[in-house]
Amino acid sequence: MATRPSSATPARRAAPGSRYHGSRDLNWSRYVALYLAQAGWVILGVYLWQNAFWPSTCQPEGLLDTALCSLRLPDNRGWVEAALMTWLWSTPILILLEFSRWTKIWEKRREATKLPPRGKHRKD
């Protein structure tokens, strides 16, 4: 008795080392999920910022003060303060990683559209 193929076929994955491994184009549903995750990340940061208790000896007034005072947030031993410190320090790293991913994509597109230099092509 022959088995019928399943209607739900598993998605094919790119082989390691192929040009699409780790850099495949995203479908529209993945863009929606990505933007929803980013919105959730920002909402989480706003929630943590509003509910955290800053130490009385360090009240941030600017971006630099926030970075310096965030190191003292876990002194209160609350999960909100520890989570806010983690959020404050991981967000710039995530932004830099996303920026580096986009610069790689731009460089690959630019190389793909680049014409060969003059005088380097063969004349027959």
Spell out the residues 6+ positions from residue 49 whose beta carbon is closer than 8 angstroms to its own. Answer: 84
pLDDT category at 4 given cuts 50, 70, 90 is: low
d(CA 68, CA 85): 10
Give me the mean pLDDT over the 1-17 stretch: 56
Question: pLDDT confidence of 31, banded at 50, 70, 90?
Answer: confident
Over residues 88-98, the pLDDT tens digits come to 999 999 889 88
CA 77/CA 81 separation, integer angstroms: 7
- Compute the distance between CA of residue 35 and CA of residue 93 in angstroms, rounded to an integer: 18
In the 8-state DSSP scheme, what is residue 8? S
pTM equals: 0.60
* Structure confidence at residue 19 as a pLDDT band (50, 70, 90): low
Mean local confidence (pLDDT), 31-47: 90
Structure confidence by residue, pLDDT tens digits, 62-73: 888 888 888 888
> What is the band of 41 on the pLDDT scale with cuts at 50, 70, 90?
very high
